[in-house]
Amino acid sequence: MSRSPARRRGPLRLVAAAAATCALTVTSAAPPASAEDSRPYTETYRPQFHFSPAKNWMNDPNGLVWFKGEYHLFYQYNPSGDTWGNMSWGHAVSEDLVHWRELPLALPHDDDEMVFSGSAVVDHGNTTGFGTPENPAMVAVYTSHSKDDGKQAQSLAYSTDRGRTWTRYSGNPVLDIGSKEFRDPKVQWYAPTRSWLMTVSLSTEHKVRFYSSKDLKTWTHLSDFGPQNAVGGVWECPDLFPLPVDGDPGRTKWVLVVNLNPGGIAGGSAAQYFVGDFDGTRFTPDDDGSYTPPPGVVVQDFEGSGYGTWRTTGTAFGDGPVPAPAPGTSGTSGAEGRGLADSFHTGDHETGTLTSPPFTVTSPYLNFKVGGGRHPHVPGSVTGDAPAPPGEVLADFEQDGYGSWTATGTAFGDGPASGTLPGQHPVSGHEGSGLVNTFLGGDATTGTLTSPDFTITARHLNLLVGGGNHPSGADAPTAVRLVVDGRIVRSATGTDSEELNWVSWDLGDLAGRTARIEVVDENTGGWGHILLDQVMLSDTPARPRSTETAVNLLVDGKVVASATGADSGTLDWASFDLRAHQGEQAVLQIVDMNRAGWGHVMADHFVAADRPATSAVQRADWVDHGKDYYAAVSWEDAPDGKRRMIGWMNNWQYGNAVPTSPWRGAQSVPREMALRTVNGRIRLTQRPVPAVESLHGPSVGVRDVGIAEGSVPLAGGRADGGALDIRATFTLADAERFGFTVRTGAGQETVIGYDQETGELYVDRTRSGAVDFHGDFPGVQRAPLTARNGKIELRILVDRSSVEVFGGEGEAVITDQIFPSPDSDGIRLFAEGGTARLDSARVWQMRSYRD
């Protein structure tokens, strides 16, 4: 991904340009490599065998190319801080894809542009004239993001000294279609036509576009591919490459990788892929993406002029369904028939509900289409604007100044804000006109606001909170804290929303104590501000207001199933499993309680059926089923012709908040890619590059271990460690689930297992250490994996802050970050619901690539 997932406001700290002319020679803008090499890399969570920069922010890998004995890894980099911004190209090199050496900054941003994602090639034929046949130029093809108008175009820079210094081409940009969503070119030499081939993304149109050029400067449009399969977010960082099927060079297929954010299989960022043919002009997938859902009885199709027996509240849904747009005529797609329910009546600010009459559940499944905002139902929330419980108001921020509260820094100004500040999306959910709002001057301002001491005289403290999601324990929090005896005992943060909502702290254990409230804004990145209002002591907890955009199934007045959109105008199939509610009375309710961005819901075509419908996300093929593998692209010009890929090991849902310092961002282990026939289908498979084994230290091996229900240390604890390479084979027995727990200790564990009932590999990181820095971080990720000859084979790479799990022959892969305590380094075997058998396992301790 080339841009922040949240809006960016406020001044950017700029690296000075080396020259003001169009042709710009880029000089070193970072410490010399020798200085970087002296860093110990012993910080908590510092990866030992995954590349991470010495300091500051890193995201997408860029410019992957092999040249003169070196693999080059360029990457999106902020030279001025550890959150997204000031996008430039960092640079590292390796001779084996494992031992990396960080080099000075390659392509810095300047006063005119940020340097977004792209690729690099070696111009052996000197088609550009930038080098000579004897000394070919390395050419970077990158997206220029204009700081003036936000437009994105494709530009060139070149180097004639193995990528150590760079010159921007004086004729930039070389490809400009006037779009703000046109980025991430992947360029390669296409031998059959003796020309350069560019694969680039039309991000919001969910298309990949192909161009051809003889000299990298003048480009001819060839064709477009898409939309198809997962389209819940923007399409970014495409890659196209050929691979033999099952190792047969006479049977070659092309793989098109398209990275997606949000809308991935595990939520947020992910990389999907298509297998097909490329004829030099057009990519044709083997699967055309068509889908016919299971048949059934239509319950509601919204084809009439009104809602019939369904009733509405509020204003969001109007008097009846809206006409379904023809394909390509608006931002909405995927509707069935002529109409749909759509709460974007006049905008996102309207709210309301649309409720069916009661019905008796008689079918196993209810299938329907849903789209719009990704705002899930929160159990216990109140639909509507329920008043706060009575109590003592400590602060309502209706006065001109802060009174006895004390402010420091520049974020809080001289007093409360009167609602929305300049440059900010509309603020809502506060009481009265005044509130604390640290978006004063943009997200770049920081400071604190501290209350006078008060005595805790009630069971609960209720407060309205909004703004950025940067918890109190993060390096740069936007949080409200309760401090007792100098210790933070409670804290709250926003949800990356300008809508304030109720938070309630139970203070039962603190009755009679003296406390104070601290409002902290230390964040200068996206959503780097906090909102606060109506601080009250009360004997009754405030219930949060619903902010959902969801389709809910209610039984006895309780929500028992819920589905939401994916921040997308495309409606997709969803399904409720009704088997546990046969014969019960139920109602369907479509709910829009959100006034912020993507604050609407769309629904259509409810069908009672015997089988569940599957969404496009479920039907798509995914490079990785984990939460933390994005912007995946491959190296060009590898000397042995093998295809190797790497991805950014993070997720835009929480990327700016992961608890690492002084760096933020790591890359996956490079992987060798292959196409194999698995269960009758051609699948993209992957394995760590063999050079990872050069970091092997001492090992422990075990064989023929029976695993009773429960868990036991592997090899009596002799295999424990914080950085491991694990290879294991299990034989299926009667256990429902079995596998490993790694990085265990003091109540912490990361579970890596196989679910025999569902046929899925899974990683559970809900107890993997620090998981509370963002609500989207804890969870369980799953990937389909079929046992082969009754056995499950696993390869697991464990590092200080990540796990990468490869199942079978690499057809099932899950990559997840984890943040356990340094002393949580145990590894155990487990079985649930029966017994399991470990045929064999070997565990290597892993050395640092810097040793």
- 50-64, 65-79, 141-155, 474-488: segment of lowest average pLDDT: 474-488
Mean pLDDT of 318-333: 78
What pLDDT is stored for residue 688 in this prediction? Answer: 98
What pLDDT is stored for residue 326 in this prediction? Answer: 60
Residue 846 pLDDT more than 60? yes
Q: The dihedral of CA 395, 396, 397, 400: what is its sign? A: negative
Residue 173 pLDDT more than 80? yes
Distant-in-sequence, close-in-space partners of 758: CB < 8 Å, separation ≥ 6: 782
What pLDDT is stored for residue 597 in this prediction? Answer: 79
Residue 708 pLDDT more than 70? yes
Take residue 589 and report the two structure tokens written for it: 């309710």
Distance CA 590, CA 673 (A): 43
The single residue listed with the structure tokens 């080098």 is 131
List pLDDT tens digits, range 377-403.
Answer: 988 888 877 778 999 999 999 999 999
Rounded percentage of the chain residues whose pLDDT exceeds 90: 85
What pLDDT is stored for residue 598 in this prediction? Answer: 87
Distant-in-sequence, close-in-space partners of 42: CB < 8 Å, separation ≥ 6: none
What pLDDT is stored for residue 383 in this prediction? Answer: 83
What pLDDT is stored for residue 40 in this prediction? Answer: 60
Distance CA 361, CA 254 (A): 47
What pLDDT is stored for residue 476 in this prediction? Answer: 83
Residue 175 pLDDT more than 90? yes
Distant-in-sequence, close-in-space partners of 738: CB < 8 Å, separation ≥ 6: 707, 730, 753, 754, 756, 829, 830, 831, 832, 836
- Residue with the bigger pLDDT between 345 and 7: it is 345
What pLDDT is stored for residue 470 in this prediction? Answer: 87
Take residue 450 and report the two structure tokens written for it: 């501290």
SS (H, E, C) 634-693: ECECCCCCCCEEEEECCCCCCHHHCCCCCEECCECCCEEEEEEEECCEEEEEEEECHHHH
List pLDDT tens digits, range 402-450.
Answer: 999 999 999 999 999 999 999 998 898 899 999 999 999 999 999 999 9
What pLDDT is stored for residue 3 in this prediction? Answer: 44
Give the SS3 label for residue 604.
Answer: strand
Residue 308 pLDDT more than 50? yes
Residue 12 pLDDT more than 60? no
Q: Is 67 exposed, middle or buried (0-12, 13-18, 19+ CB in 10 A)?
A: buried
Distance CA 795, CA 806 (A): 5
Single-letter amino acid code for the residue at 278: F
Q: Which of 37, 60, 215, 286 is catalytic?
A: 60
Q: The dihedral of CA 122, 126, 129, 134: what is its sign? A: positive
Closest C-alpha among 369, 362, 368 to residue 579: 362
Cis-peptide into 238, omega within 30 deg: no
Distance CA 685, CA 813 (A): 9
Whether residue 262 contacts residue 374, with contact meaning beta carbons closer than 8 Å, is answered with yes
Closest C-alpha among 599, 595, 652 to residue 420: 595
Number of H helices, E strands in the chain: 2, 59
Query: 281 phi and psi, to 5 degrees?
Result: -125, -45
- 57-61, 117-121, 657-661: segment of lowest average pLDDT: 657-661
What pLDDT is stored for residue 17 in this prediction? Answer: 28
Mean pLDDT of 149-173: 97
What pLDDT is stored for residue 210 in this prediction? Answer: 98
What pLDDT is stored for residue 556 in this prediction? Answer: 93
What pLDDT is stored for residue 388 in this prediction? Answer: 84
Residue 244 pLDDT more than 60? yes
User: Is residue 60 flagged as an active site residue?
Assistant: yes
What pLDDT is stored for residue 329 in this prediction? Answer: 53
Cα 676 to Cα 60, 115, 253, 269, 511: the distances in Å are: 27, 37, 11, 25, 64
Whether residue 445 contacts residue 411, with contact meaning beta carbons closer than 8 Å, is answered with yes
Whether residue 365 contacts residue 575, with contact meaning beta carbons closer than 8 Å, is answered with yes
Report DSSP letters for 205-252, one per residue.
TTEEEEEEESSSSS-EEEEEE---S--SSEEEEEEEEEEEETTEEEEE
Q: CA geometry: angle at 80 spanning 78 and 82, to 5°?
A: 65
Distance CA 293, CA 612 (A): 8
What pLDDT is stored for residue 772 in this prediction? Answer: 85
Instruction: State pTM to two decimals.
Output: 0.86
Mean pLDDT of 191-208: 96
Residue 323 pLDDT more than 50? yes
Mean pLDDT of 655-669: 94
Query: 240 phi and psi, to 5 degrees?
Result: -135, 130
Mean pLDDT of 542-559: 94
What pLDDT is stored for residue 381 in this prediction? Answer: 87
DSSP conformational letter for 760 = E
Mean pLDDT of 359-373: 96
Per DSSP, helices labelled H in 291-442 are none
Mean pLDDT of 185-211: 97
Closest C-alpha among 288, 291, 292, 258 to residue 684: 258
Average per-residue pLDDT for the chain: 92
